[in-house]
Amino acid sequence: GAVVSQHPSRVICKSGTSVKIECRSLDFQATTMFWYRQFPKQSLMLMATSNEGSKATYEQGVEKDKFLINHASLTLSTLTVTSAHPEDSSFYICSVTTGHTGELFFGEGSRLTVL
Amino acid sequence: QKEVEQDPGPLSVPEGAIVSLNCTYSNSAFQYFMWYRQYSRKGPELLMYTYSSGNKEDGRFTAQVDKSSKYISLFIRDSQPSDSATYLCAMSGVVYNFNKFYFGSGTKLNVKP
C-alpha cells in the first residue's frame, strides 16, 4: 500500500502563531490528497480536498483563511493553521488515494496543541 | 440518517475470541469498502479493502460485503491483545472522480489477555 509521511507528529505553539503540517506521498504521485481533523473519541471529519496545482476544495464550515492548504507537487501537500487558537487544538491527518482502485491511505497524523 | 452507521462500542472480548465488527450504510452507489485500524494517537491503517460484494480473507481477518443488505463486516479470528484499537469502516462509490469517503464513527475493541 501507499506510504504517506506526515510531519511533524506533534507540535505545541502559542496562541496567535501559525503552524505548518506537511504530508508527503512517498511511493506514488498523488493528484488528490485529503485533510481530516479528528476530535478525541470521534471519527474523521473531512476538512478539505487538495488537488495538485489548483485550489483546495473546502468542506462546509471549514474556514479557508484559517486552514490554508497548498498542493504544490504530486507528492507534497501542506496544511497551515493560521493565527492558531486553543480551539484549533486537534489531531490532523492527511490521506492520499490511489484513484483507480479506490483505496485510501493515511498519514501518521499530527497532534496540534495551542496554548 | 447518517451515510454510514457503526456501533461505537466499546467491545471487550477475551484473548482468542472471534470478533465481529459491522457497519450499515444507506447509499447503494457505494462500491469500495474498507476497514481501518486506528491505535490511540496514530493515523488509521488500512486493514482490508473490498470491491463490490463478497468475502476477502487476509490472515486472521475476513471482510464481508453484502450489498443487497447494505451491510459490511470484519471478522477477527484468534484475537490478540495487540488487536485492541478502534476499527473504522469506510466506503466510497465513484472510481475516477470521487473526492469524499464516508466513515463510520469507529468501534473501540479491547482484547483482554
**pLDDT tens digits, one per residue of B50-87:** 988 889 999 999 999 999 999 999 999 999 999 999 99
pLDDT at position A53: 81
| Residue B14: band (very low, low, confident or very high) from pLDDT cuts 50, 70, 90 | very high
Query: Backbone phi, then psi, for A41, in 5-degree steps?
Result: 60, 25
Interface of A with B (CB under 8 A): 1, 4, 6, 32, 34, 42-44, 46, 49, 57, 91, 93, 97, 99-109, 111
pLDDT at position A29: 83
CB within 8 Å: B49 and A102: yes
**CA B35 to mean position of chain CA atoms:** 4
pLDDT at position A99: 64
Residues of B in contact with A42 (CB under 8 A): 105
- Residues B28-56 have pLDDT tens digits of 888 889 999 999 989 999 999 998 888 99
Nearest-CB residue to B43 (from A32, A93, A102): A93
- Residues A56-79 have pLDDT tens digits of 999 999 999 999 999 888 899 999
Nearest-CB residue to B99 (from A4, A32, A105): A32
| Residue A97: band (very low, low, confident or very high) from pLDDT cuts 50, 70, 90 | confident
Assess whether pLDDT exceeds 90 at residue B92. Answer: no
User: Residue B43 and residue A93: Cα distance in Å, rounded?
Assistant: 7
Residues of B in contact with A103 (CB under 8 A): 32, 34, 46, 49
CB within 8 Å: B103 and A97: no
- Residues A9-50 have pLDDT tens digits of 999 999 999 999 999 999 878 878 999 999 887 889 999 998
CB within 8 Å: B88 and A6: no
Grid look-up 451515510 returns: B3
Assess whether pLDDT exceeds 50 at residue B95. Answer: no
Evaluate the omega torsion of the peptide bond into residue A40 and state whether it is cis, within 30 degrees of 0. no
Q: Which of B4, B23, B31, B98 to mutate to test the interface with A (most CBs of A within 10 A)?
A: B98
User: A1 in helix, strand or coil?
Assistant: coil
Mean pLDDT of B86-106: 80
Please enumerate in sequence order all residues whose Cβ is within 8 A of that of B110, keeping only pairs 6 or more positions apart, or say none: B10, B11, B12, B13, B84
pLDDT at position A74: 86
Closest CA to B75 of B11, B3, B28: B11
| Residue A30, C-alpha cell as written in the block | 498523488
Mean pLDDT of A77-90: 96
Mean pLDDT of A89-98: 91
Nearest chain B alpha carbon to A43: B105
Grid look-up 453484502 returns: B66
CB within 8 Å: B100 and A103: no
Amino acid identity of residue A16, one-letter, is G
